[in-house]
Amino acid sequence: MKAPKFPKGSVPDHVAVVMDGNGRWAKKRGLPRTAGHEAGEAALFDMVEGALEVGVKELSAYAFSTENWKRSPDEVKFLMGFNREVIRRRRDQMNEMGVRIRWVGKEKRLWKSVLDELLEAEELTKKNKKFTLNMCVNYGGRSEIVDATTKIAVDIAKKKIKPDQINEKLFSKYLYNPGMSDVDLFLRSSGEQRTSNFLPWQSVYAEMIFMDVLWPDVTRKTLWDAIAIYGERDRRFGKA
């Protein structure tokens, strides 16, 4: 499929995506939920390719939330192992495509084997400049803000910073990935219209687009259709 030519300035730099609907996709087919997660892998990497083709610079993918620990032990176990395998399987391909992989999330509770795999992929791809794929594994927006606040309190106690130095710029340096840019386009599949604790700090001025498609049915075309809608939006940022 040929990538559309979007007018200059109408392509978002940073796209955040809530990859939702795997379970429903599987249920519709009489398959176990895990089959839906497996089918979702291709959707993510097709979207990464489609993003590169049209000049998106950064994609943040919500792979496992801090709330997803509430799922059955079997599903949690599957998702941890699956995330680890996906990173291992895809990292060379991503590296050859010029993609920098970053892990964004909370260390506490995350399986060590998953974290190790993510850190290895970060190391392997750290020189790539063309595109960044933020793999948000064990990510929660509130915990990101609380953890940043804790780190700031520690630095104040150590007299590294003073309370009156705290501003938005300084605060953002304490987030899980301080290099992350603001989200321009926030996408969610599956028809649910909520953000589910994904990137609240970074998304305050994001354009939100909710799509009815279930995640495993998503392709690069889904992203391009969303970018076309995004291009029509008037982003005023509070200006008149």
Residues that bind ligand IPE (CB under 6 A): 18-24, 62-65, 67-68, 79, 190, 192, 194, 196, 215
Minimum distance between the CB of residue 147 and ligand IPE, rounded to whole angstroms?
18
Tell me whether residue 26 or residue 110 sits nearer to Mg ion (CB atom): 26
Name beta bridge partners: 101: 133
Which of 15, 20, 37, 43 is the binder for Mg ion (CB under 5 A)? Answer: 20
**Would you call 217 a catalytic residue per the annotation?**
no
Alpha-carbon gap, residue 76 to 63, rounded angstroms? 12
Best CA proximity match to 77, nearest among 117, 33, 25: 33
Which residue of the set 22, 68, 134, 138 is catalytic? 68
Q: Does 58 bind Mg ion (CB under 5 A)?
A: no
Alpha-carbon gap, residue 151 to 46, rounded angstroms? 37
**Would you call 184 a catalytic residue per the annotation?**
no
Tell me whether residue 32 or residue 231 sits nearer to ligand IPE (CB atom): 32
Minimum distance between the CB of residue 158 and ligand IPE, rounded to whole angstroms?
35
- In DSSP notation, 3-39 reads PP-PPTT-S-SEEEEE---HHHHHHHTT--HHHHHHH
Q: Does 207 bind Mg ion (CB under 5 A)?
A: no
Minimum distance between the CB of residue 215 and ligand IPE, rounded to whole angstroms?
6
CB 14 within 8 Å of CB 58: yes
Best CA proximity match to 130, nearest among 13, 23, 6, 214: 13
What does the angle CA 136 – CA 139 – CA 140 come to, to the nearest 5 degrees?
140
Picked from Mg ion, ligand IPE, none, the partner binding residue 12 (CB below 5 to 8 A depending on kind) is none
Catalytic residue list: 20, 68
Q: Which residues bind Mg ion (CB under 5 A)?
A: 20
